[in-house]
Structure 1
Amino acid sequence: MSAPTVHAIHIAPARRLPTRSVPSVEAEAGRGLVGDRYHGTRHRHVTVQTLPALAEAGAALGTPVEPGSTRRNLTLTGGTLPTRPGERIRVGGVELEVVRISAPCRLLDDWIGPGAMKAMHGRGGTTFRLLSSGTISVGDEVELA
């Protein structure tokens, strides 16, 4: 079985602004993703979700859920994301540590449609802090715990 890879990367320059897809992003240890609204925050550096979780949410909602619409930074092709604080993954050469499970954003019903927040419950991914710096690119392999 092959390792999951980064399917998509999304960043938003400020709260409530739409995310934009980028082919790669600079990750700064202890700071976050350069150009993202959470860059410089203490712990919430990167949010990660998986395509299978989006497919499940889309099935529950009755309409596809696109990676950028959930406001998560990284979308992986598959795998099971760790959820316990302190667990780690590696994306390309960048090491990330779990902070917590990501709760669905209240804006999902506005961005995707009524019921989207409920459909994403339990499928919202994981919030990580960055332990190392480097470039994260679409196609990078991901080492899950």
Structure 2
Amino acid sequence: MPEIVQLLASPSHRYVGRPADGPLPAPPGELVDEIRIRAGLGVVGDRYFGKEAHRQASVTVIARESLPPGAGLVEVRRNIMVAGLAVDDLVGAVLTLDSGDGPVRLLVRRAAHPCAWMDVMVGPGTWKALRGKGGVRCEPLDDGVLRVGPVAVTVRR
């Protein structure tokens, strides 16, 4: 059964400027056990919540299988890490996740391309290795809550 492995709601950008200069400090409490999603707005408490320019891409999802061992959401800056689900193949689909509090539908709009920061934060070669496997950017269609743990998944194309 697929599972939600990690959840991130970060109020600030960490990757500003050149990767060689290093990231800004991580705010406390970024990794959480649950996130609240609002339709058309994103993840409550996240840096992209309610931002007009990001409404169609306010929730990001990545597959654990795409990442090297030890890498997590703090490094790749996605909101949801899942295991057992090939998210990169879902562009154009409606992905429904239900971790026990009711279904949350996400319209998978486009790929979430990795950036040069990955070579600094995860390790040399990660930027190139994640091309085509950097996750997806989604528009939330429902209000709801997602939690770490087993998740029921439905995909409608």
Q: TM-score, normalised by structure 1?
A: 0.83
1:138 aligns with 2:136: no
After superposition, give the CA deviation of every residue in 1:92-132 in whole Å (9 maximum; x if it has no partner). Answer: 11110111011003322232233221121121011111000
**Matched residues in 2 for 1:31 and 1:51: separation?**
25
Structure 2 residue aligned with 1:73, among 44, 62, 79?
A: 79
**Matched residues in 2 for 1:74 and 1:118: separation?**
21
Distance 1:29 1:140, change over 3 A: farther
Partner letter of residue 70 of structure 1? V
Structure 2 residue aligned with 1:49, among 59, 62, 65?
A: 62
- Tell me if structure 2 keeps the 8 A contact 1:91–1:140: no
**What SS does the aligned partner of 2:114 have?**
coil
Among the aligned pairs, what percent are the same residue?
31
Partner letter of residue 119 of structure 1? A
**Matched residues in 1 for 2:8 and 2:126: separation?**
19
Structure 1 partner of 2:3: 5
**Matched residues in 2 for 1:9 and 1:84: separation?**
21
CA RMSD of aligned residues (A): 1.8
After superposition, give the CA deviation of every residue in 1:34-91 in whole Å (9 maximum; x if it has no partner). Answer: 011111132111111111111xxx2xxxx64234311111011112224332x11111
- Tell me if structure 2 keeps the 8 A contact 1:94–1:130: yes
**Matched residues in 1 for 2:4 and 2:117: separation?**
24
Unaligned runs of at least 5 residues, structure 2? 15-23
**Matched residues in 1 for 2:141 and 2:41: separation?**
9
- Tell me if structure 2 keeps the 8 A contact 1:89–1:142: no
**What SS does the aligned partner of 2:56 have?**
coil
- Tell me if structure 1 keeps the 8 A contact 2:91–2:136: no
Structure 2 residue aligned with 1:96, among 83, 86, 106?
A: 106
Unaligned runs of at least 5 residues, structure 1? none
Structure 1 partner of 2:48: 38
